[in-house]
């Protein structure tokens, strides 16, 4: 029975982590946006407003659950749960450090994409269940966007999988550092297996994956419904989109799902392209920095550091760029990102056959 206890503990730890991350991201998003707009941001609660997020959560917990009279009650209540659980289940297959992965699946990355596609269903549920035309419009926009942007995401992920020859995220990560048993070639020519570090990351093993990473990053912004792709929530047109009718803890769950999704897509990108838990420091002669900075503690540190940097980029982009129009959004996806990602996949195939 002991391993059942471990399962429960791991699940609880991941849930606590998503909740803590959401609080942290909430505060940092406010502070970063304030810095970019030359304001101070939250300053009242705690030193430099550092307890502001806790105060917000406390406020949310006290709020009343309001169910609109004409709403479809079952769908309305179930939707936030499905949205959050689908994102939360995605965390199960992500590697945190050498040997530290909640579930080392052979189909890791494929499983994550399958689970994330359930979120669209939850959003449609929320939009329809609210019985509000703004909510319905928002959910339709959101789903149209997420379904279209899944294609460039999936294809750019495939171009990595073709290089790594595995769907298991732990194996993909191991193949990008000094712990691997295969040969690693920097730009396909220079063997860096003993050197490791930043040179062994997937984006430097095959340089066309840099383009694939940019495609993935842009498309992942669209999948989290974040600016500049936030037309599903466009406050000025849709007063908040599919979650307009939600209040209290139910809204908190949708919010939690949104921020966990930011972390999740950032972490998938880091694992696939930027080396996962591998250190960026290479071995230089007798100064074996890569050997010193690889381990369970270091692994968790590196992956958190890299992913939080990616999240900071997402926040930075949100407060810099204006919102896309619907037609621009769709033509950008289908006419620019999709052909480019197909090109990346083609190059991956040729690269695998000729350079490796």
- Interface ranges with another protein (CB under 8 A): 72, 74-75, 105-107, 110-111, 113-115, 117-118, 120-121, 124-125, 128, 136, 140, 143-144, 147, 150, 167
> Which of 4/44 has CB closer to another protein?
4
Min dist CB 298 to another protein, Å, is 29
In the complex, least distance from residue 168 CB atom to another protein, rounded to whole angstroms: 9
Taking the least distance from each CB to another protein, the nearer of 51 and 140 is 140
Min CB(104)–another protein separation in Å: 12
Q: Least distance in Å: CB of 149 to another protein?
A: 12
Q: Which is nearer to another protein, 60 or 85 (CB)?
A: 85
Q: Can you give the three-state secondary structure of the chain, one letter per residue?
A: CHHHHHHHHHHHHHHHHHHHHHHHHHHHHHHHHHHHCCCCCCCCCCHHHCCHHHHHHHHHHHCCCCCCCCCCHHHHHHHHHHHHHHHHHHHHHCCCECCECCCCCCCHHHHHHHHHHHHHHHHHHHHHHCCCHHHHHHHHHHHHHHHHHHHHHHHHHHHHHHHHCCCCHHHHHHCCCCCCCCCCEECCCEECCCCCHHHHCHHHHCCHHHHHHHHHHHHHHHHCCCCCCCCCCCHHHHCCHHHCCCCHHHHHHHHHHHHHHHHHHHHHHHHHHCCCCCCCCCEECCEEHHHHCCCHHHHHHHHHHHHHHHHHHHHHHHCCCCCCCHHHHHHHHHHHHHHHHHHHHHHHHHHHHHCC
The smaller minimum CB distance to another protein, of residues 32 and 343, is found at: 343
Nearer to another protein, 71 or 203 (CB): 71
Nearer to another protein, 161 or 179 (CB): 161
CB of 72 to another protein, least distance (A): 7
Nearest approach in angstroms of CB 75 to another protein is 7
């Amino acid at each position: 029975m002991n391993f059942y206890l471990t399962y429960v503990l791991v699940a609880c730890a991941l849930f606590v982590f998503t909740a803590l991350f959401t609080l942290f991201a909430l505060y940092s998003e406010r502070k970063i946006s304030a810095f970019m707009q030359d304001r101070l941001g939250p300053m009242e609660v705690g030193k430099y407003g550092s307890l502001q997020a806790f105060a917000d959560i406390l406020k949310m917990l006290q709020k009343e659950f309001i169910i609109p009279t004409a709403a479809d009650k079952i769908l309305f209540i179930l939707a936030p749960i499905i949205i959050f659980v689908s994102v939360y289940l995605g965390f199960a297959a992500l590697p945190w450090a050498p040997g530290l992965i909640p579930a080392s699946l052979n189909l890791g990355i494929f499983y994550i994409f399958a689970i994330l596609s359930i979120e669209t269903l939850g959003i449609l549920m929320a939009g329809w269940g609210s019985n509000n035309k703004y909510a319905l419009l928002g959910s339709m926009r959101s789903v149209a966007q997420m379904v279209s942007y899944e294609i460039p995401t999936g294809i750019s992920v495939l171009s990595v999988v073709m290089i790594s020859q595995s769907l298991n995220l732990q194996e993909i990560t191991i193949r990008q550092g000094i712990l691997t048993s295969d040969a690693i070639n920097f730009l396909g020519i220079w063997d860096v297996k003993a050197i490791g570090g930043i040179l062994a990351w997937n984006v430097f093993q095959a340089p066309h994956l840099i383009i694939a990473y940019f495609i993935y990053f842009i498309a992942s912004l669209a999948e989290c419904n974040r600016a500049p792709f936030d037309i599903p929530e466009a406050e000025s047109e849709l007063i908040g989109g599919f979650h307009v009718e939600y209040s209290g803890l139910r809204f908190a769950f949708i919010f939690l799902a949104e921020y966990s999704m930011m972390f999740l897509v950032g972490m998938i990108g880091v694992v696939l392209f930027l080396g996962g838990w591998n250190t960026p420091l290479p071995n230089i002669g007798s100064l074996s920095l890569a050997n010193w900075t690889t381990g369970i503690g270091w692994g968790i540190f590196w992956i958190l550091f890299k992913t939080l940097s990616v999240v900071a980029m997402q926040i930075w982009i949100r407060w810099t760029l204006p919102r896309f129009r619907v037609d621009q959004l769709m033509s950008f996806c289908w006419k620019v990102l999709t052909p480019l990602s197909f090109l990346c996949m083609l190059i991956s195939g040729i690269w695998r056959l000729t350079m490796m």
